[in-house]
Amino acid sequence: MTTPLLSIKGVSAFYGSIAALKGIDVEVMPGEIVTIIGANGAGKSTLMMTICGNPQAREGQVIFEGRDITHMPTHEIMRLKIAQSPEGRRIFPRMTVYENLQMGAAVAQDGDFKSDLARVYSLFPLLERRKGQRGGTLSGGEQQMLAIGRALMSRPRLLLLDEPSLGLAPLIVRQIFSAIRELNRKEKLTIFLVEQNAFHALKLAHRGYVMVNGRISMQGSGRELLERPEVRSAYLEGGR
């Protein structure tokens, strides 16, 4: 077995005295799409934020490429080969699409800006056509594409996606998910996906984890989880 790209070992995180994560163990292998699904408040986004060091884990370890990043400040973690498309997209509304993408490449050391840009444009051709437009004037789906594109500009080995389907129409969700699948297939990019849309996420992912109240309650391959009756009843019935 190869070594995992990202491993989370017994991580607990707190907001004040309230435990949001209670001993989480998750592993992400190179080239995999791994998803975390769960209800509102299960701690999915907190787990994502803990990987990025905000809040930092109080117990346990987060290891990326064999390096302990548990107590590194956020901006230093993001300078490793990790990139994040944060929850709620958080693009820069008054900057143009092009400038947003430039910001994504701000800390890329060995990147070639032009080829990175071409790569993002070929993945999301819409962004190229909108490059002179201000981020805030884009539609929700376009903003999500921009957020993912911006994250890709730093040439990550691990892409963290926090609820890319949030507030988007089903058609657009499908577009974005197929772009994610393409990234993984063509470039062997490792993707860690946090999603509420369990059906789409599990269909896309190689492996998945189900989170309930700050703990991992189930894990398995995407297909396996999709067929489990408890998953179906809790997250899928009517959730389609």
Give least dist CB 137 to another protein, A: 11
Contacts of 91 (CB under 8 A, 6+ apart): 100, 135, 136, 138, 143, 146, 147, 150
Under DSSP, the state recorded for 139 is: -
Q: Rounded distance, CA 55 to CA 142, Å?
A: 29
Q: Does 52 bind another protein (CB under 8 A)?
A: yes
Contact 144, 168 (CB under 8 A): yes
Q: Does 86 bind another protein (CB under 8 A)?
A: yes
SS3 40: coil
If we measure between CA atoms, which residue out of 66, 74, 29 comes closest to residue 48?
74
Identify which of residues 106 and 118 has a Cβ nearer to another protein in the complex.
106
Q: In the set 76, 187, 227, 230, which binds another protein (CB under 8 A)?
A: 76
Kind plus residue range of the DSSP H or E element containing 179: helix 170-187
Identify which of residues 5 and 126 has a Cβ nearer to another protein in the complex.
126
Identify which of residues 45 and 198 has a Cβ nearer to another protein in the complex.
45
Q: Does 115 bind another protein (CB under 8 A)?
A: no
Give least dist CB 218 to another protein, A: 29
Q: In the set 26, 33, 57, 78, which binds another protein (CB under 8 A)?
A: 78
What are the φ and ψ backbone dihedral angles of 5, each rounded to 5 degrees? -75, -45
Q: In the set 28, 138, 226, 231, which binds another protein (CB under 8 A)?
A: 138
| Subset of 198-237 contacting another protein (CB under 8 A) | none
Q: In the set 7, 96, 213, 219, which binds another protein (CB under 8 A)?
A: 96
Q: Does 154 bind another protein (CB under 8 A)?
A: yes
Contact 58, 47 (CB under 8 A): no
Cis peptide before 55 (omega within 30 of 0): yes
If we measure between CA atoms, which residue out of 45, 35, 6, 9 comes closest to residue 24?
9
Interface size with another protein, residues (CB under 8 A): 38
**Region of 58-66, 116-124, 138-146, 230-238 interacting with another protein (CB under 8 A):** 138-146
Binding positions for another protein, rule: CB under 8 A:
52, 54, 74-79, 84, 86, 90-96, 98-99, 102-104, 106-107, 126, 129, 131-134, 138-142, 150, 154, 172
